[in-house]
Each structure stands twice: as structure tokens, then as C-alpha cells.
Structure 1
Amino acid sequence: MRIIGGRLKGRSINPPAGYSARPTTDFAREGLFNILDNEYEFEGLSVLDLFGGTGAVSVEFASRGASEVYCVEMAPANASFIRSQVRKLGIDGTVKVVRHNVFDFLDICTLKFDIIFADPPYALENLASLPEAVLSRELLHPGGYFILEHPDTYVFADRPGFVKEKRYGNVHFSFFTV
């Protein structure tokens, strides 16, 4: 996986063989950041990355100038890998890796963010409840986005706060705001 833009553009994140996370494809990540490029100045943004996986999305935000990125990942091996990549890339002052269950983290989080991104396992039993779980906790600054990556088996257009859905191959991003 390569970093698409910003000061780390072209650098790679290479998880070991057998890594347990399904990363957002470079194609989908590039599409997502093209959308965000048109709507945000990344410099100074605060970002929450839920279900961090490989950390690629967190690294992409940091590379583009986000001032703080919280990357929440429950799997110990994945959290350790993300920490090692963040250190290797020299962005450990920007990206904070939190090893925690996402839903429990949402319950205790007192911070507010400009963007919240979630790429849950597609087989997650309560994936459909994520928009309400995030938006009901008032973690977004006004005008901020909650972006949920999901397969095409989910449709969120009728949910409160839904703004739009974008598709890149088999990857769907639903955007919500408060």
C-alpha cells in the first residue's frame, strides 16, 4: 500500500503476510481523498480513524497535514504494526494509536473531531448501527463528516445525517454529518 498524497507521498506501508485486516484499496483511498481535498484544508484537522486495520488511512491524513489523528484498533498485533509504521514514518507525534474496542472507545471519548472515518470488518454484526453510534455521541465538530466504508449490501440513504454515498469498485463510502 502506498501513501497517495502529502509529505509522505509515495512511501509504503507493507503489512506482513497473513495480516488480519482488510485494507482500503489504494484506488478507493485515492477516490476518498480526492473528495475530501475538494472540501477540506487538511492542515490542522483532528481525525478519528475507527477500526484502524493497517493504519493507512491514519497515515494518509497525517501525511496531508492533520494535526492529530487517533487510530483505534482492537487487535494487539495490528495496533503494534500501526505503531511501528507510524514511528518508522516519523509521525508518532501526530498519530496516536489506541488499542481499544471501538464501541467502548466511543463511550469514553470526550474529544471532538473534524472527520471520523470507520472501516469496520464487513462481517461486523452491528455494522448497520455505526452511524447512530457515532453521531449520537456528538464527537463531530459542526460541518464535520463521519465516513463509513462498507460493502454494497448496506444502504444508509434513509439514515439521519446521511449526505451522500460514493463507490470505488466494490468499496462504498457513506458520508454523514450533524
Structure 2
Amino acid sequence: MRIVSGQFKGRRITAPKKLPVRPTTDMAKEALFNILNNQFYFDDISVLDLFAGTGNISYEFASRGTQDILCVDQDHGCIKFINDTAESFEMDIQTIKSDVFKFLEKTKQQHTIIFADPPYDFTEEAFSKIPELVFENNLLESEGLLIIEHSKHTDLSNLKQFVRSKSYGGNVFSFFENETSDEEE
């Protein structure tokens, strides 16, 4: 995997084979960041990377100037790899080793972008728990975005606050936003 843009553009990152991960493809990552680039100033946002795995998405945000990044993963090897890689690139990425669902139930910190890349074999119930906890606990800033990566065999369009999805090969990004009332317009 490589960083596709920003300060560290072109830098390759090689994760140990023993990590239980499936990194987002460079093509899908580049397409996702093209969408986000039109909506956010990366140096002004806060990012929460859930099921962070190798930290692939977080490195991309950091390379583009994001200073406030928190990665959550329950695998010790993943957290160690993210910490080591962030240190070698001198990126300010924070990590928490935790079950993502337990973390979402306890945290009170809001973020501009919450990115979740859970295992593709999650049940629909497990996938639906992510936006449920994010919105019930008010973890997304008012103009923020929750993005869940999943396979093309999973459909999240029936979940509350779903707004759209984009497919790239076998990868799909589903986007969720806070509900807005007519009063705000």
C-alpha cells in the first residue's frame, strides 16, 4: 500500500503478513479522498478511524495535513504497527487498543469524519450498530460524515441517516450524515 497524496505522497507502507487486516486498495482510497477533498479542509478536521487495521486511511489524512487523528483497533499488533509507522513518519496519530463497539459506547469526543472499515463478513446487525452508536452518542460533528467501508455484497442503504454510497471494484463506501431539520435551512 502507498500514500496517494500530500506530504508523504508515494511512500510505501508494508504491513507484516501476520496482521488480521484487509487494507483499503489504493484505487478506492484515492477515489474516497477525491470526494472528501471537495468537502473538507483536511487541516481543520478531527478524524476517528475505527477498525483501523494498518492505519492506511489515517496515514492518508495525516499526509494531507490532518493533525487530530485517533485510531481504534482491538488487535495489539495493529496498534503497534500504527504507532511505529506514525513515529517513523513523524505523524501525530493517537491510538487506542479497544473493541470498537465498547469504545463507541464510552467515548464522548466528537469528530468531523468517522471512518469505519470493519471485517467484510460482519452481519447486517453488526454493521448497523456502527451508525446507531455514532448517532445515539452524538459522536459526529454537525457537518460531519460517517463513512463505512464494506463489500459490494453488503447493502447499508436501509440504515438511518444513510445518504449515498460509492463503489470501487469490490469496495463500497457508504456515507451517513446527521439529520438536519428544516429550521436550519
SS state of the match for residue 43, structure 1? helix
Distance in 1, Cα, partners of 2:130 & 2:102: 12
TM norm structure 1? 0.95
Q: In the alignment, does 2:26 pair up with 1:26?
A: yes
Alignment gaps of 5+ in structure 2: 179-185
SS state of the match for residue 131, structure 1? helix
Please tell me the residue identity of whatever aligns with 2:29.
R
2:151: which partner in 1? 151
Deviation readout 1:46-88 (Å, 9 max, x if unpaired): 0000000110101111111112100001101111111110111
SS state of the match for residue 69, structure 1? strand
Q: In the alignment, does 2:5 pair up with 1:5?
A: yes
Which of 97, 100, 103 is the equivalent residue of 2:98?
100
Distance in 2, Cα, partners of 1:54 & 1:136: 28
Which of 95, 109, 114 is the equivalent residue of 1:111?
109
In our comparison, the structure showing a higher alpha carbon Rg is 2
Q: In the alignment, does 2:172 pair up with 1:172?
A: yes
SS state of the match for residue 10, structure 1? coil
SS state of the match for residue 131, structure 2? helix
Distance in 2, Cα, partners of 1:30 & 1:61: 11
Please tell me the residue identity of whatever aligns with 1:141.
E
2:55: which partner in 1? 55
* Alpha-carbon distance, 1:20 to partner: 1.6
Alignment gaps of 5+ in structure 1: none
Number of equivalences: 176
CA root-mean-square deviation: 1.1
2:183: which partner in 1? none
Please tell me the residue identity of whatever aligns with 1:66.
T
Q: Matched residues, percent identical?
A: 41
SS state of the match for residue 24, structure 1? coil
Query: Is contact 2:108-2:137 (8 Å) kept?
Result: no
Query: Is contact 1:128-1:154 (8 Å) kept?
Result: no
Q: In the alignment, does 2:85 pair up with 1:85?
A: yes
Distance in 2, Cα, partners of 1:111 & 1:31: 28
Query: Is contact 1:45-1:65 (8 Å) kept?
Result: no
Q: In the alignment, does 2:27 pair up with 1:44?
A: no
SS state of the match for residue 44, structure 2? coil
Please tell me the residue identity of whatever aligns with 1:100.
S
* Alpha-carbon distance, 1:39 to partner: 0.9
TM norm structure 2? 0.91
